[in-house]
């Protein structure tokens, strides 16, 4: 199962972490994993490009781990844009979780 933890402080997302594997299909054909990966990597790429900022990213070499810490020392306009992009990611992950609860669990901390 993929465990997704979204860390929040003062009503803002500060980081998120994905651990585990969906195991909803054979390696290379796991559509749940592909969906979760596309949503999270897409959000990270959008933040880096549209907010012109680097992120603190930690990724497991063989998959099964992806963690992102969001910067706090950026101007308020970029911070707001970054939060909107993250909220869009969360909505997409909630949609995946709703359909594939046995493979994905989203938690807030």
**Active-site annotation, residues:** 21, 33
Pairing of strands 104-108, 65-69: unpaired
Angle subtended by helix axes 76-99 and 31-50, to nearest 10: 170
What the block records as the tokens of 106 is 């989203």
């Amino acid at each position: 199962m993929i465990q997704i933890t979204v860390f929040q402080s003062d009503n803002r997302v500060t980081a998120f972490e994905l651990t585990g594997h969906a195991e909803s299909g054979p390696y290379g054909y796991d559509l749940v994993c592909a969906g979760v990966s596309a949503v999270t990597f897409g959000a990270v790429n959008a933040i880096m490009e549209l907010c012109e900022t680097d992120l603190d990213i930690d990724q497991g070499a063989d998959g099964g781990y992806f963690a992102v810490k969001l910067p706090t020392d950026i101007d308020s306009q970029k911070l707001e844009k970054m939060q909107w992009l993250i909220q869009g990611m969360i909505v997409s992950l909630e949609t995946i979780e709703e359909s594939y609860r046995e493979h994905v669990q989203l938690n807030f901390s």
